[in-house]
Structure 1
Amino acid sequence: MAVTQQEIESRLWDAADELRVAMPEAQYSSVVFPLMFWKYLSDTWEHHHQEFLADNEGLDDLSAEEAHEIEYRDYQSFEIPFIYPGTVQERRASWTSILATITQPGLGQRVRASLQAIETANPDKFSRLFGSMSWTSEEVLSGEVLAAVMQAMDRTPKMHEGNMSHDVLGGAYEYLLKRFSDGSGTRAGQFFTPREVVELIVELLDPKGYESVYDPTCGSGGMLIAAANLLKARGGRGYTLSLYGQEAVSDTAGVARMNLFMHNLTQFQIEGGDTLKDPRFKKPDGSVEQFDVIVANPPYSLKWKPWSNDPRAIGGVAPQSSADWAFVQHMIASMGPKNGRAGVVLPHGVLFRGGQEAAIRQRILDDDLLEAVIGLPANLFYSTSIPTCILVFRAKGAKAEEREDGVLFIDASRRFTRGKNRNTLTDADIADVVTAYHANFDSEGNPVGLDSDGRLAARFVSRSEIRSKENDYNLNIGRYIKQAAAETEDLGTLIDAYNLRRAKRRIAEERMLKVLAAAGIEGFDE
């Protein structure tokens, strides 16, 4: 009997829910995903082991070494070794083997030893896969709670290809990612970008078979998976993509690796570490590696240690208070010279902030690297309610001829469906934005034949207009799309006005406090 998507998702959530007595929901992922993947590996290994035994019945004269060679040559794609070999505690590092010991003390230690043994036995596939595994400590998660989680997860149907497809398995993994993000606030949302935003970016960049796709802040790997899924949906072979990602949080990097495996994607490399400080993908000469497609949803306005001497810093160095443009500079440096393109989600501040960011923005525009600015609705993300935008870049000289020497602006800020926790984009919303992105434009920059219900507007703007004295390289969408300008005030102007009034208020408060202090009246500054 086929396993339904709803069945596996319900069982997995029951297992996760056992953690409610031990930790906040934001931390569930660090426990549930390693256990889920361990069960998947164990079920898969056991399924192929039974096939091996059935096919080789009667070959009892095989030595242990010969049997091992045949099984791992013809049946298994990874090894599940033994833990504590040569001792009375020796047992296979499999789910069922350790589950049989849940009533014995030291369950967390045995789980940790099993996961570490699997990583060590399969260094090319599973190195650093399970993250820090700090949750296996009794001080973090008691043996009783861990046992309850494992017992609940064991009620999940067998997770192997003979019992469920990778589409079902990958879908269940993504279900948990989304549910953790929906219910846990900002922490889980830091590594999960809403699926519809991911799909929109991937649709815009349109990865082709055998291309390389790179995410410098890959989180749980959703953008890389979406690239493969899109190619597959269009009749291509998603597994032909070479997928690369870097993630600063080691446990989250492990989540990404497991996520890719669950989706039956094996041609990938996920590295840990700070991409700005220590990019892990480099050429032999020390420069950053270049890729066909780059996608990212980096942490917004991240405080960072600015580069002192880095070739990625075209146009200058982003300020310490915000690494937004530093991530863009890294992505631009990572674009392949022939057909490299990049898509990144960022807050609207990158479009108009001054100082060092304005200098970087000017250089990127002067080099004609920016292809499109797409304004998204507010409250789409799990970690912030602010409106965001997608910036699309093309390698120098890689723009289509009709898109050279200008920038396409799309205002999709009113295209959303309101939800309980956040707003969402429908398939129609995504399709209409993609249609606007590919539209033809007349001499005034207006789209030709673009049907719209009034909630989507687009305009192709020449660089001369953007560089004019009036605009001075400001990319605020409301400056270039009159419909947006008429209905929403210029966000940059609003922020400038707010900062000015705030400064004047502080001066007035300081003057008032001095007067009160001189009169012997104190306590108002507390």
Structure 2
Amino acid sequence: QDISQKSSNLLRLNLILNNLVHSLNNVVQGNTILSPAHKDASGRLKKFDFIVSNPPFKLDFSDFRDQLEGEENRERFFAGIPKIKAKDTDKMEIYQLFIQHILFSLKENGKAAIVLPTGFITAQSGIDKKIREHLVENKMLAGVVSMPSNIFATTGTNVSILFIDKANKDEVVLIDASGLGEKIKDGKNQKTVLSRAEEQKICNTFTHKQAVEDFSVVVSYDEIKAKNYSLSAGQYFEVKIDYVDISVDEFAQKMAGFSADLDKLFTESAELEKEIKEKLQTLKFNESVINSSK
């Protein structure tokens, strides 16, 4: 289901080209959030095994926002509905509604992949935080991959891919792929392109739940709770401190050098302070300048 007529028609064409004509009736043009069309025989929203989504991040939905607050949507939008902004209504976080709708539409062991703004994975409060708490408390995460900036040529927004697996009660994979890719020009925009090897690295690391230094971590749900439900891989990386072995004499020499440098700086500071005071004492009030300006 897509609100865009153009996107809906392109999807129908794609199905025809891929010999999936039998699925044409599943394509519906309409408002997924306000009027979800895929329902079962009893009129309830259908549940799916797999969902893949790249929802709009921010969009003005102030014209139908209040219609979503009915009792029939309370369970679907469990974490809340974004408020109407006094200014910039086109920046309302509609992606938060899509995440909740997707979670509600998954079967008991369903899986989903959702492209989201990276800010979602670390937000300290609000709807984003409530959704992450729900994912962790109900143990339905597979992992998160934080992508490089400009992975989409049309936007500079940093994005992450949230992988949901309602059957995964064990460890979660968090990957920081922000350092990968090559920046190239795409028309007037700059885009980051991943090589095949980099794509394979991400896939293998995620699939095999590998911990790679400064790239990925494998964490438990309890560890995520302890980090305030953060899904950013970087917050779990081990902080490395490099120690250098030196002798007692070398240490004494370094300290003597630091002390000498400080003495020099203190002396220069005192001389500068003295010079400033002397300059201030030479300043005189010139009454003739004031009279001539009247």
> TM-score scaled by structure 1?
0.39
Q: Distance in 2 between matches of 1:384 and 1:287?
A: 36
* Highest RCO, 1 vs 2 (Cα 8 Å, sep ≥ 6): 2
Correspondence for 2:157: 386
**1:313 counterpart (63, 77, 88):** 77
Indicate whether 1:346 and 2:116 are aligned: yes
Correspondence for 2:270: none
**Once the two structures are superposed, what CA deviation does each residue of 1:378-399 show, in whole Å capped at 9, x if it has no partner?**
111132122210000012xx12
Q: Distance in 1 between matches of 2:122 and 2:107?
A: 28
**Would the alpha carbon gap of residues 254 and 440 (structure 1) be closer, same or farther in structure 2, given more than 3 Å must change?**
closer
Q: SS of 2:234's equivalent?
A: helix
Deviation, 1:358, is 1.5
Indicate whether 1:429 and 2:192 are aligned: no
Q: Distance in 2 between matches of 1:460 and 1:261?
A: 41
**2:5 counterpart (250, 264, 268):** 250
Q: Is the 8 A contact 2:209 2:218 kept in 1?
A: no
Q: Distance in 2 between matches of 1:285 and 1:394?
A: 26
Q: SS of 1:362's equivalent?
A: helix
- Amino acid of the residue matched to residue 178 of structure 2? S
Indicate whether 1:479 and 2:235 are aligned: yes
Correspondence for 2:53: 296
Correspondence for 1:334: 105
Q: SS of 1:247's equivalent?
A: coil
Q: SS of 1:418's equivalent?
A: strand
Q: Is the 8 A contact 1:371 1:392 kept in 2?
A: yes
Q: Distance in 2 between matches of 1:347 and 1:367?
A: 22
Q: Distance in 1 between matches of 2:19 and 2:113?
A: 25
The number of equivalent residue pairs is 218
- Amino acid of the residue matched to residue 476 of structure 1? S
Deviation, 1:482, is 4.2
Q: Is the 8 A contact 1:410 1:459 kept in 2?
A: yes
Correspondence for 2:14: 259
Q: Distance in 1 between matches of 2:48 and 2:225?
A: 30
> TM-score scaled by structure 2?
0.68
Q: SS of 1:459's equivalent?
A: strand
Deviation, 1:405, is 4.4
Percent identity (aligned) = 28
Correspondence for 2:247: none
Q: Distance in 2 between matches of 1:440 and 1:296?
A: 23
- Amino acid of the residue matched to residue 415 of structure 1? L
Q: SS of 2:231's equivalent?
A: coil
- Amino acid of the residue matched to residue 460 of structure 1? V
Q: SS of 1:467's equivalent?
A: helix
Aligned 1:194-209 pairs, distance under 5 A: none
Correspondence for 1:275: 32
**Once the two structures are superposed, what CA deviation does each residue of 1:205-251 show, in whole Å capped at 9, x if it has no partner?**
xxxxxxxxxxxxxxxxxxxxxxxxxxxxxxxxxxxxxxxxx111112
Q: Distance in 2 between matches of 1:432 and 1:419?
A: 21
Q: Distance in 2 between matches of 1:302 and 1:432?
A: 34
Q: Is the 8 A contact 1:319 1:357 kept in 2?
A: no
- Amino acid of the residue matched to residue 432 of structure 1? K
Deviation, 1:408, is 1.3
Q: Distance in 1 between matches of 2:232 and 2:7?
A: 34
Indicate whether 1:414 and 2:184 are aligned: no
**Once the two structures are superposed, what CA deviation does each residue of 1:297-326 show, in whole Å capped at 9, x if it has no partner?**
001133432631312123x21413312222
Deviation, 1:285, is 2.6
Q: Is the 8 A contact 1:318 1:357 kept in 2?
A: no
**Once the two structures are superposed, what CA deviation does each residue of 1:458-483 show, in whole Å capped at 9, x if it has no partner?**
11112222212xx2223233212348
**Would the alpha carbon gap of residues 266 and 408 (structure 1) be closer, same or farther in structure 2, given more than 3 Å must change?**
same
Q: Is the 8 A contact 2:216 2:233 kept in 1?
A: no
Q: Distance in 2 between matches of 1:318 and 1:481?
A: 33
Q: Distance in 2 between matches of 1:480 and 1:371?
A: 16
Deviation, 1:364, is 2.0
**Would the alpha carbon gap of residues 276 and 255 (structure 1) be closer, same or farther in structure 2, given more than 3 Å must change?**
same
Give unpaired runs (5+ residues) of structure 1.
1-245, 442-446, 484-526
Q: SS of 1:479's equivalent?
A: helix
Q: Is the 8 A contact 1:292 1:336 kept in 2?
A: yes
- Amino acid of the residue matched to residue 116 of structure 2? L
Aligned 1:89-488 pairs, distance under 5 A: 246-268=1-23, 269-304=26-61, 305=65, 307-308=68-69, 309=71, 310=73, 311-314=75-78, 316-320=79-83, 321-338=92-109, 340-353=110-123, 354-395=125-166, 398-399=167-168, 404-421=169-186, 422-440=191-209, 447=211, 457-468=215-226, 471-482=227-238
- Amino acid of the residue matched to residue 215 of structure 2? A
Deviation, 1:352, is 2.2
Q: Is the 8 A contact 2:171 2:221 kept in 1?
A: yes
Q: Distance in 1 between matches of 2:205 and 2:154?
A: 28
- Amino acid of the residue matched to residue 41 of structure 2? P
Larger radius of gyration: 2
Deviation, 1:258, is 1.3
Deviation, 1:440, is 4.3
Correspondence for 2:287: none
Q: Is the 8 A contact 1:377 1:388 kept in 2?
A: yes
Q: Is the 8 A contact 1:324 1:350 kept in 2?
A: no
Deviation, 1:284, is 2.3
Q: SS of 2:21's equivalent?
A: coil
Higher helix share: 1
Q: Distance in 1 between matches of 2:45 and 2:82?
A: 22
